[in-house]
Chains A and B, each alone.
Chain A
Amino acid sequence: MRAAFRTGAIAAVAAAALIMTGCSADAGSEGSADDPVELTYWAWAPNLDKVVDIWNDQNPDIQVTVNKQDGGDPAITKLLTAIKAGSGAPDLIQAEYQKIPTLVSSDALADLAGTDAADLSGDFPDSAWDSVTLGGDALYAIPQDTGPMMFFYRDDIFTQLGLTVPTTWDEYAATARALHTADPTKYLGTFSSNDAGWFAGLSQQAEAEWWSIDGDAWGVGIDEEPTQQVADYWGGLVEEGVIDNKPMYTPEWNAALNDGTQAGWLGAVWGPGVLSGNAADTAGLWKAAPLPNWGSDVSNGNWGGSSTAVTSQSEHVDAAVKFATWLNTDPEAVQALVTETGIYPASTDAAASALTEAPEFFSNQPDFYDVAAEAAQAVAPFQYGPNVNVTFSAYNDEFAKAAESKTRQAFLDAVAAMQQITVDDLESSGFTVAK
C-alpha cells in the first residue's frame, strides 16, 4: 500500500508540475495585481465570504470568489456531477471529513502532498490530519474545523435534583436512572437514529475502526467490539427506558430542550449555536463538560467538522493551497472564521488564541473553550471509508428499527446489519475488501 501511495503521490506531483509549467508558458501561474489568478470556492459556512474579503484585500494577485452552497451534501453531489462532466468544478471546496474518501475515489481532489501544505501536519491534531491524509502519504485537504464531542447538561436541574456531572459512562447511566426516577418525564438524553455522525463519534471515542486500509484492500470493522460495546450500552439504557428513543432535531426535541424534558445532550463543540437557536430561553442554564469516558482512558470522538480541498479540475493548485493555508492557519483568518462563521477551528494554536471568551449562550461558564480544547485534544483517530454514505443511511434505517423496538439485542443486530450492508456495497462496487 505504501508503494502504491508513493507512486500515486509522485504521479500527482509530476502532473501538478506539468500543469504549472503549462500555465507559466502563457500567463504565469503566479498571477499579478494586473492579471490576478481567479479562484472559485464552493462553501456553505455562513459569512465565509467576509473572511475571504480579508484575503482578497491583502492579495491582489490571487482573487477568490466564494460560491455559497446549500450544505455539505448538496455541494458534494454537485461537485461529483461536475467531475463526471469533466468541467465546471471550482478550484476549492469545503468538504466534510467523512466525504473525503468518496471524493478521492471519484478522483475529485488534487493530491497536495507535493505542495507547501504538506508541512502543516504539526498545526493540527493528529485525528484531523489523519482524516485528510487517509492515513497514507497523500494529502487531500487542509483541515478547517473540527467537532469534538461534549456533554451539555442543564445545570439548574442537576443542582435541583442533587445530581453530579458524570465523568464515565457508568456514571452517565447512573445519573440517567437517578434523573428519570426523580422525575419520570425527564431524560438525560435521547438515542437518535437520525444522526449517524453522532453515533460514529461515540464509536470513535470507544476506539472503533469502521474502515481501515489493509494493503490493497479496505477493512470494515463496524461489527466489532468497540462499536458493539457502544450499541449494547445505549440499547440497554433505551430498553430500561431511562434514555429516550426519539430522533434529535425534531420540533418535539426542541420543545424538550426548552422545557427540561431533555436535561442533557451529547453534542459537539458547535452545540451552543444549536441550543441558542432551538432553546434560546434556556441561555445561562446549560453547562458543558467533557464527554463521559469508558473507564479511566480519556478519549473523545468527533461529530462534524470540515476541510478545505483543492479539486482535481483546478489549474491553479499552488495558488489554491496558498489561500487554503492562510484561511485555516493564519491567526487573523482563523479569528475571522471564529467571529464570522462560528466554527471551532482545527488549527490548535490559532484556536487557542482566537477562542478566549465563552460563547454568549454559555456566559455562565467562562472556561467553556478550555473544556473544548481538552475535548479536541482527546479525539481518537478515525478513518472514514469510500462508502460512508451507504453506511450512514444503513445506520438511519437499522437503528430506527432498533430504537423503536427498544431492545438491547436489536441494537446489536443493527450494528451487524450496518457491517453487512457496508461490506456488500464495497464488494458489489468492485472494491477489494479484507476478510
Chain B
Amino acid sequence: MTATVATPRSGAGRGAGRSATRRPAGRRSATRRHLTPWMMLAPGIVLFTVFMAAPILYTVVLSFQKEMVKGLGLGSGAKTRTFAGFENYVATLTDPEFLASVGRVLLYGVILVPTMLGLALLFSLLLDARRTGAKGFSRVSIFLPYAVPAVISSLLWGFLYLPAVSPFYWIFEQLGWDDVPSLLSPGLVIFAIANIGLWGGVGFNMIVMYTSLKAVPTEIYEAARIDGASERQIALRIKVPIIMPALIMTALFSMIATLQVFAEPTTLRPLTNSLSTTWSPLMYVYRDAFTRDDIYSAAATSVIIAVATFAISFFFLRVVQRRAFGQED
C-alpha cells in the first residue's frame, strides 16, 4: 500500500519543481514521468481492487444486512433484505458454539505452533551442521509433505486413524495392546488434527529457517570455533539469535494458519462423532454460508475473524519486535 501512495507523490513533486524552470517539452516529459508509475502499478491496483478490496467491502456491507421472511415464506416476494445493524455481530459473539470454536483453535495453536517450529528449527540446525550427511535427501523428504494438499493428507491420515482399517492398529493388536484409544475419540481428536498440520507444516518452516541460516557469513562460525565454541554453542548462541527474524516470521504465519484451520477437520469430520460442523471458526463460517444459506451471518463472522487475526498479528509483532530487532534500532 505504501508504495502505491509514495511513488507517484514523489514523482509529482519533482516534476512540478522542474517544469517551472524548463521549456514546454520538459512539461510533456514530466507528465509522462508522472504517468509511468501509475501505468506500471495499474495492473496491480486493478486486480487488488476487483479481487480483494471490492469483495472485502461487499462482505462488510453484507454483514450489516439480513433476510427477513413473511409468514410461511412461500411464493414470490416472501423474502426481503433489510438492514440488520450489528445484529449479526452480536449473534456471533454471543453464540457459545462460536466461542467454543475459538477456544478449540487457540488450544490447537498452543499444541501445534511450538511443536512445529521447534521441530523445524531442530531440523534446519541439523541440516546446517557441518557433519550431517545426505543433506539433499533429508531436506527434500522433510519438505515433501508440504507439497501434499491438506485435503489429501487428511484423507490419508484419516485412514491411519480409523482402528478397523489402520495398519498401526493392526500392529498394536499383534503386540497384544488391545486398549489403544482411537485418536479420533473426543479428547484426542485435537491431536489427530494437529498431527496432520505438523506433518504438513514442518517442512515449509524448516526451509525458511534453513535458507536464512545459509545466508549467515561463515566467518562468524570460524571466529567462534577459534574462540573454542562447540557446535551446540554455535547453534544456540549464534545461529538462533541471527535467524530470529525468520523465526518470528514463521511464528506469525503459523499463528495465522492455525486460526484459519479448515481443511483438516472438515475432511476428518465424516469419519467420527468427535468433530462438530462448527469445530473451528472457519467451519462455523462455512456452515452459516453454505449449509444454512445465511451469507449475512457468515459475512459478519468473517469480518470478526479477519479483525481478530489482524489484532493478534499486530500485538504479537509489537511484543516481539523490540526483542528481535532491538539491536537494530
Contacts and interface: CB of A to CB of B under 8 A. Distances in A.
A222 B79 CA distance: 25
Contacts of B273: 193, 245-247, 400-401, 403-404
Interface residues of B, number: 36
B72 A247 contact: no
A104 B91 CA distance: 27
B276 A400 contact: yes
Interface in A372-386: 386
Contacts of B291: 389-390, 392-393
A258 B278 CA distance: 32
For the complex, would chain B's binding face be called helix, strand, loop or mixed by DSSP majority?
A: loop
Nearest to B82: A430
A216 interface: yes
Interface stretch (B112-120, B144-152, B159-167, B195-203): B159-167
Given A247-B271, A401-B273, A107 B79 contact: yes
A296 interface: no
Contacts of A77: 290, 293
Interface in A119-153: 134, 136, 138
Contact of B162 (A136, A218, A252, A312): A252
Nearest to B74: A104
Given A77-B290, A390-B292, A8 B74 contact: yes
B164 A393 contact: no
Nearest to B290: A77
B75 A429 contact: no
Contact of B72 (A255, A312, A404, A432): A432
A294 to B, nearest CB: 26
Contacts of B163: 252
Contacts of A401: 273, 276
A107 B293 CA distance: 14
A173 interface: no
A213 interface: yes
Contacts of A330: none
Given A105-B78, A247-B271, A251-B158, A218 B72 contact: yes
Contacts of B77: 107
Interface stretch (B25-33, B62-70, B123-131, B222-230): B62-70
Contacts of A11: 75-76
B277 interface: yes
Nearest to A312: B76
Contact of A404 (B68, B159, B186, B293): B186
A396 B270 CA distance: 9
A80 B270 contact: no
A249 B270 contact: yes
B74 A425 contact: no
B313 interface: no
Contacts of A27: none
A350 to B, nearest CB: 30
A217 B274 contact: no
Interface of A: 1, 4, 8, 11, 73, 77, 80, 101-102, 104-107, 111, 134, 136, 138, 193-194, 213, 216-218, 245-247, 249-252, 255-256, 261, 312, 386-387, 389-390, 392-393, 396-397, 400-401, 403-404, 425, 428-432
23 contacts: A4-B72, A73-B290, A101-B74, A105-B74, A107-B78, A134-B74, A136-B74, A217-B71, A245-B273, A247-B270, A247-B271, A251-B162, A252-B165, A255-B164, A256-B164, A386-B72, A389-B292, A392-B291, A393-B291, A400-B275, A430-B67, A430-B68, A432-B71
When A and B form their complex, which 7 residue pairs have the shortest distance between CB atoms, in order from nearest? A430-B68, A105-B73, A400-B273, A404-B273, A252-B164, A430-B69, A252-B162
